[in-house]
């Protein structure tokens, strides 16, 4: 417990400056580092880390995508056809991995290659959505904070309600400790966190908040957050491992700590892009 608390305090101490200077390259660089570590953890999880023909292209692909987005983050450097380039690079990577797997003569199972590709792209989309939401969306300086707030408040609400009121198991085959009551507590925690955040920026930053849209978003984000957590747990259970990594003593790896955030970030980014101008969350 002591190790977990110390690690949490150190992690928060690192995260706060990143959020404060999110308008600079600090945010995309931090996201890139986390994403690369997460991809490294995934390669170990699916047991291809030492299969260099698969792992090296995966690391290079991840670094290339992260570099493109980091450059794109700089407002004074625009990349023509940015989205088509991302699609093209992603397709080349997937096709290359599948071809290498085919020529491996059974050394690598296709299920391993497919899992590596799917989880790598899943992680990259998650971390890149944080950066793109902060850069490309109006009111992004407030909206991107909903990613972290939603995941953390959901976890907090689910934990405390589950501890004090949890009786009915949610999905014991995947996560034995999670309860249905805790899941509802997570939704309430997310709603509470979003409403408080809305009040704060409304009062101190003169931002108009659509509280109905914010509460509806909180409900959906809490569900997505908990599903993201369960998906990561399912992969670990299927692979027979306790943690993805060890970068956070007592907490595991990047994938263990950011599993909910990876799921939440693309959701909020997509919702914000699809919302009509008449139903904006912040304005």
Per-residue pLDDT, 139:
94
Res. 243: pLDDT tops 70: yes
Q: What are 128-168's pLDDT values in tens digits? A: 999 999 988 899 999 999 999 999 999 999 999 999 999 99
pLDDT class for 121, splitting at 50, 70, 90?
very high
Of residues 220 and 237, more confidence is placed in 220
Alpha helices, DSSP H only, in 80-144?
Answer: 82-102, 110-136, 140-143
How much is the average pLDDT of 82-98? Answer: 91
Q: What share of the chain in percent tops pLDDT 70?
A: 98
Place of tokens 């497919």: 114
Distance between CA atoms of residues 35 and 62, nearest Å: 8
Res. 228: pLDDT tops 80: yes
Res. 83: pLDDT tops 90: no
Per-residue pLDDT, 278:
82
Res. 120: pLDDT tops 80: yes
Residues sharing a CB contact under 8 Å with residue 219, sequence separation 6 or more, in sequence order: 187, 190, 191
CA distances from 67 to 36, 62, 118, 263 (A): 11, 8, 20, 22
Distance between CA atoms of residues 30 and 223, nearest Å: 26
DSSP code at position 15:
H
Least confident of 8-12, 58-62, 89-93, 220-224: 8-12
CA distances from 271 to 73, 114, 266, 267 (A): 20, 28, 8, 6
Per-residue pLDDT, 125:
95
Q: What are 168-220's pLDDT values in tens digits? A: 999 998 988 899 999 999 999 999 999 999 999 999 998 999 999 999 999 99
Distance between CA atoms of residues 137 and 268, nearest Å: 11
**Residue 59 · residue 36 · CB < 8 Å:** yes
pLDDT class for 2, splitting at 50, 70, 90?
low
Per-residue pLDDT, 77:
67
Per-residue pLDDT, 70:
84
Distance between CA atoms of residues 138 and 186, nearest Å: 28
Of residues 6 and 230, more confidence is placed in 230
Per-residue pLDDT, 260:
96
pLDDT class for 62, splitting at 50, 70, 90?
very high
User: Bridge partners of 175?
Assistant: 171
Cβ burial, residue 159 (10 Å; 0-12/13-18/19+): middle
**Residue 116 · residue 256 · CB < 8 Å:** no
Residues sharing a CB contact under 8 Å with residue 44, sequence separation 6 or more, in sequence order: 244, 245
**Residue 239 · residue 231 · CB < 8 Å:** no
Res. 76: pLDDT tops 80: no
Distance between CA atoms of residues 67 and 65, nearest Å: 5
Distance between CA atoms of residues 41 and 134, nearest Å: 26
Of these ranges, 2-11, 59-68, 78-87, the one predicted with the greatest mean pLDDT is 59-68
Distance between CA atoms of residues 30 and 258, nearest Å: 13
Res. 41: pLDDT tops 80: yes
* Lookup: tokens for 138: 């109006």
Quote the mean pLDDT of the chain: 92
Per-residue pLDDT, 8:
72
Q: At what angle do helices 110-136 and 145-165 cross, to 10 degrees?
A: 120
Cβ burial, residue 196 (10 Å; 0-12/13-18/19+): exposed
Length of the chain: 283
């Amino acid at each position: 417990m002591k190790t977990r608390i110390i690690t949490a305090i150190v992690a928060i101490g690192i995260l706060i400056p990143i959020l404060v200077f999110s308008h600079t390259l600090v945010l995309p660089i931090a996201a890139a580092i986390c994403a690369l570590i997460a991809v490294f953890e995934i390669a170990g999880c699916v047991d291809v880390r030492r299969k260099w023909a698969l792992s090296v292209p995966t690391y290079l692909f991840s670094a290339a995508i992260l570099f493109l987005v980091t450059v794109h983050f700089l407002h004074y450097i625009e990349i023509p056809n940015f989205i088509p380039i991302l699609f093209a690079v992603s397709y080349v990577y997937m096709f290359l991995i599948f071809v290498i797997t085919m020529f491996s003569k059974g050394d690598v199972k296709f299920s391993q290659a497919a899992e590596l590709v799917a989880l790598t792209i899943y992680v990259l989309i998650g971390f890149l959505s944080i950066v793109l939401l902060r850069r490309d969306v109006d009111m992004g300086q407030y909206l991107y904070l909903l990613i972290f707030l939603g995941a953390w408040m959901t976890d907090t609400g689910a934990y405390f309600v589950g501890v004090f009121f949890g009786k009915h198991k949610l999905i014991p085959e995947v996560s034995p400790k999670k309860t249905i009551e805790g899941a509802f507590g997570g939704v309430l925690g997310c709603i509470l966190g979003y409403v408080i955040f809305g009040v704060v920026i409304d009062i101190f930053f003169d931002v108009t908040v659509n509280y109905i849209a914010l509460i509806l978003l909180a409900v959906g984000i809490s569900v997505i957050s908990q599903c993201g957590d369960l998906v990561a747990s399912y992969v670990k259970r299927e692979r027979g491992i306790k943690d993805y990594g060890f970068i956070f003593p007592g907490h595991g790896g990047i994938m263990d700590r950011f599993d909910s955030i990876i799921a939440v970030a693309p959701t909020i980014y997509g919702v914000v892009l699809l919302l009509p101008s008449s139903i904006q969350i912040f304005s």
